[in-house]
Amino acid sequence: MLHDVYTIQKLVPRNSFISVTPDVMWRDWSFRCYMMRYDEISFSDKDTCQYYIAKPNQPVRDKFTPTDAPLHQYRLYKIKDSK
């Protein structure tokens, strides 16, 4: 889990909000606390943030595209450009 935390922190700006699936929001307390503790990254259950985190088997809305972040337990997505 810490590998994923450190990798995400390199990609997501400090003091950001990240959208997450309900499963990550309400069940992965240690992950959530590490993100907050080390880089003040907070989770949101709304899909309105620039980034989105889900577990590998969870569906993600079309407005997000996967990043190539080498994560082990989670997947990091970024909102698509509206160009």
pTM above 0.75? yes
Closest CA to 57 of 45, 32, 75, 43: 75
Write the pLDDT tens digit of every residue in 30-72. Answer: 999 999 999 999 999 998 999 999 999 898 989 999 999 999 9
Q: How many residues make up the chain in this entry?
A: 83
State residue 47 phi and psi, 5-degree precision: -95, 45
How far apart (Å, rounded) are the C-alpha atoms in residues 57 and 9? Answer: 22
pLDDT at residue 47 in the model: 87
- What tokens does 33 get? 């606390």
Q: Where are the domains of the chain?
A: 2-79
Please name the fold of domain 2-79: D-Maltodextrin-Binding Protein; domain 2 (3.40.190)
